[in-house]
Chain A
Amino acid sequence: MPEWSGYLTLILQGALVTAQLTLFGSVLALLAAFTAGLGRIAPWWPLRWLATLYIEFFRGTSIYVQLFWAYFVLPFMGISLSPLAAGVLALGLNVGAYAAEVVRGAILSVPKDQYEATVALNLTKVQRMRHVILPQALPLMLPTFGNNAIELLKATAVVSLISLTDMTFQAQIVRAQTGSTLVPFAMILLLYFAMALVISTLVRKLERRMTRGLEGVR
């Protein structure tokens, strides 16, 4: 009978790495999503072009390859990242590319008459976006953002490729050392599920708060 408490600690340490990657990755993804999403509808074509390039590139290549670039290729260009930083960078930019389209879509789905009212009230372009369009677009983005964050959580498993000891990596270690597959993998199954549950609960709460007063509008 193996010493399970020690192995449990190992897996929980991995869970912490997974949680960190998910949290930091989501923050970066959010920043990237808004930058690129707003860039796609900017009135200035170089900005639109750059945003499109970013989105197509990061959606069109695999996260696996992006991670290898972030960790093994960037050092040749003089940029050396810690495994965690490389993981956050690849995951954040990858998921951010998907979420950018969510940002763009939600902004464009705010009814045109809202935009016309802001023109008639003589708001500047930035004021229109900040006070009228985005507050109505955000509640539309949230459900998909929740999906994206869960996708990101699950994608963190690839970081074991660059020697990060995330949850999946630790489970493999435990499996190799104990010969048991069932126990470590049942454990991380539950842990992934619990983390995803936390994300979806948070998003639902946020959604409820943001749509207050908007009932019956759409």
Chain B
Amino acid sequence: MTAPIIRIDRLEKAFGALKVLDGLSFDVMPGEKLALIGPSGSGKTTILRILMTLETITGGHIEVCGEQLYHMRRGDRELPADEAHLHHMRSHIGMVFQHFNLFPHKSVLDNITLAPVLTKGEPKAKAEARAKELLEMVGLSDKAQAMPSQLSGGQKQRVAIARALALQPRIMLFDEVTSALDPELVEEVLLVMKRLAAETDMTMLLVTHEMGFAHEFADRVLFFDKGHIVEQGPPEQIFRNPTHERTQSFLRKIIAAGHRV
């Protein structure tokens, strides 16, 4: 039996007095495609941000690829992770953001090659060759020399996906990657992600309000409310036969708002 690639154990996160996550536990298996759904403020984005080390945790443990994310072993003592440990752990994980976060002062190609050259010491030529392959994969071969400001939102997000892939992480986090896009641009991004999910064995965690996409994309859906997993299971079960009242009312509201499930 294979071990989970992510192990979240009694995770706690508070912003001041506000407890966002309170004793959350779940595992993710290697290669699994996970969709995290639920109302705003239910803590799902916070989970991704914690996995990317963009937040600190206030309690609990997270294991990624067999190592503690926020703790280090020194002899038989357990210490909070230092920057060097976090740097090491981050190499397993990539993230795509809601607002793309491309570097506006760098061309599309430089956005993608920057990290491989700096963090992995890849030769520029090799990084550029790989960047061009990735651009082809996301359908933007002709935009290598463009500046981000010349791209549409959908194109920016596809560049951001290519940029995250360039580091070849084992785990990819997608944080509401289509929420900032005009409706007609959503499809092109989802298409890229579908292809990615089908073609790679990367572990993917997806926070989304696109229920239709979550349904197609995910092996397992977690429904969050107030920092807790209310219900989880294969998409067919969660979307067609939700057992919990809160899941049902959430999905009803989403459908009422015009989303396809």
Taking Cβ atoms with an 8 Å cutoff, the residues of A that contact B are 113-114, 116-117, 119-125, 127, 131-132, 135-136, 213-217
Contacts and interface: CB of A to CB of B under 8 A. Distances in A.
Interface stretch (B1-9, B58-66, B100-108): B100-108
Q: How large is the interface on B (under 10, 10 to 19, 20 to 34, 35 or more residues)?
A: 20 to 34
Contact of B114 (A125, A131, A213): A131
Given A131-B114, A217-B149, A124 B103 contact: no
A122 B87 contact: yes
A122 B90 contact: yes
Nearest to A119: B54
A48 to B, nearest CB: 18
17 contacts: A113-B97, A116-B52, A116-B54, A117-B103, A120-B101, A121-B94, A121-B114, A121-B119, A121-B163, A121-B167, A122-B119, A124-B118, A125-B83, A132-B114, A136-B104, A214-B149, A216-B149
Contacts of B107: 213
B144 to A, nearest CB: 14
Interface string B78-97: 00000100010011011101
B115 A121 contact: yes
Interface of B: 52-54, 83, 87, 90-91, 93-95, 97, 99, 101-105, 107, 114-115, 118-119, 147-149, 163-164, 167
A127 B119 CA distance: 9
Nearest to A116: B54
B38 to A, nearest CB: 22
Contacts of A124: 87, 118-119
B53 A117 contact: no
A180 B71 CA distance: 78
Nearest to B92: A122
Contacts of B83: 125
A113 B54 CA distance: 10
A217 B119 CA distance: 27
A122 B115 CA distance: 7
Contact of B90 (A119, A131, A217): A119
A131 B104 CA distance: 12
A213 B151 CA distance: 12
A217 B114 contact: no
Given A127-B118, A213-B149, A122 B91 contact: yes
Contacts of A135: 105
Given A117-B97, A213-B149, A136 B90 contact: no
B105 to A, nearest CB: 5
A119 B149 CA distance: 22
B45 to A, nearest CB: 12
Nearest to B107: A213
Contact of A120 (B95, B99, B105, B147): B95
B94 A120 contact: yes
A217 B101 contact: no
Contacts of A119: 52-54, 90
Given A113-B97, A114-B103, A136-B105, 9 more contacts: A113-B101, A114-B101, A121-B94, A121-B114, A121-B115, A122-B87, A124-B119, A136-B104, A214-B105
